[in-house]
A = this chain, B = another copy of it.
Amino acid sequence: MIRKIGTRTLELTDIPRIIGFGSAVGKKEGEGPLSLWFDKIYTDTTMGGETWEKAEAALQKEAVQLAIESGCVESNNIDMIFAGDLLNQCISSSYGLRDYGIPFLGQYGACSTMAQTLAMAAISAESGAANIAAAVTSSHFCSAERQFRYPLQYGGQRTPTAQWTVTGAGCAIAASYSDGRFLSAHDAITKYGDQNIKSQIGISRVCVGKIVDMGITDANNMGAAMAGAAADTIAAFLSDTGTTQNDYDLILTGDLGKVGSDLLYELLGRDNVDICDKHKDCGLLIFDTDTQDVHAGGSGCGCSASVLCSYIMKRMRKRELNNVLFVATGALMSPTIVQQGESIPGIAHAVNIINCTE
């Protein structure tokens, strides 16, 4: 059952389970601190494709395949896939997934997309709209650079507040847990392999974000543009659930980077919320900012997707983490509208991922 608590948080009382997940990343990400956690690292980030866009589509397809294999499901067991990316008209998703034949719902939340797709998959699995629903997203440094900034060959200088778009994709597969629906997830889990039952990672709560515009007009400072949305959603979630940062092992933002993380602390500090001890940012986890020349950290849909669907989920399976508040953030802009002088609105969706005791 889905129950609204507080102003806008949804409690999923049966707790849909994450039965599979997978991640695939590029060379630079494979050289970073999370190297050992990714399922697949490509040193040739063309993925054998002729163009960067086709490479990104292939990366997304690969992440879905890895998640399917880890979940011991088959693609035709998946009732719906929620997918999105940063490219114009979300082509990494549509071209990456067109061969699967899974009912497809394109999502756009910029870099918040992994939280959005995961939230939608969880809601679908909880509501009976799907027995099994997948969530996937990707980004690619080379396709993003030429679309949002400059062609790579131009060799544009990056500002200190700029972030480095992650080449990576992550996919998670959620399954309904309750009986009495068209097929219970418990049956599905039993049927398709028992290794998932040990971990019992589930999604207990979801908070859909509002658009928050902090008036930032610098397209090289996405962290700042997104920090307000992150603060808004985290504050709403904690208030709605009557919890504090101390109730979580980890509050994980998507890709605020250094600048955005500091701003987040400042904004939450105004409400006397101090998450510093519990907070990590995927954009700061995936790269070594001292040695990898990524300036303020990693970014892109694929950043939080690949970190969540590797390092975080695997640590949850080991029970090193048991209660994670995942808050991916996105900047809802396009180069066109920023060139027209508009400020950059942000959004953040929160998904509470827990280990279930039973």
Contact = CB atoms under 8 A, between A and B. Distances in A.
Range for the number of chain A residues in contact with chain B: 35 or more
A19 interface: no
**Interface majority SS (helix, strand, loop, mixed), chain A:** mixed
Interface string A202-227: 00000011110100000000000000
Given A104-B347, A182-B4, A337-B53, A213 B91 contact: no
Contacts of A356: none
Interface stretch (A39-47, A116-124, A241-249, A271-279): A116-124
Interface in A62-120: 79-80, 84, 86-91, 94-95, 97-98, 101-110, 116, 120
Nearest to A349: B105
A153 interface: no
B8 A209 contact: no
B104 A107 contact: no
Interface in A11-69: 50-51, 53-54
Nearest to A122: B129
A184 interface: no
A166 interface: no
Contact of A89 (B128, B209, B213, B332): B332
A211 B105 CA distance: 10
Nearest to A148: B89
A127 interface: yes
A147 B335 CA distance: 12
Contacts of A123: 124, 127, 129
A211 B80 CA distance: 12
A152 to B, nearest CB: 15
B105 A116 contact: yes
A334 interface: yes
Contacts of A127: 2, 123, 126-129
Number of copies: 2
A210 B105 CA distance: 9
B208 A94 contact: no
A289 B102 CA distance: 36
A131 B335 CA distance: 35
A333 B89 contact: yes
A157 interface: no
Contacts of A91: 332-334, 336-337
Contacts of A95: 332, 337, 342, 345
A3 interface: yes
Contact of A88 (B10, B88, B97, B342): B88
Contact of A208 (B103, B126, B332, B342): B103
Closest 7 pairs (CB-CB, A-B): A127-B127, A94-B332, A106-B108, A103-B208, A89-B334, A2-B128, A98-B211
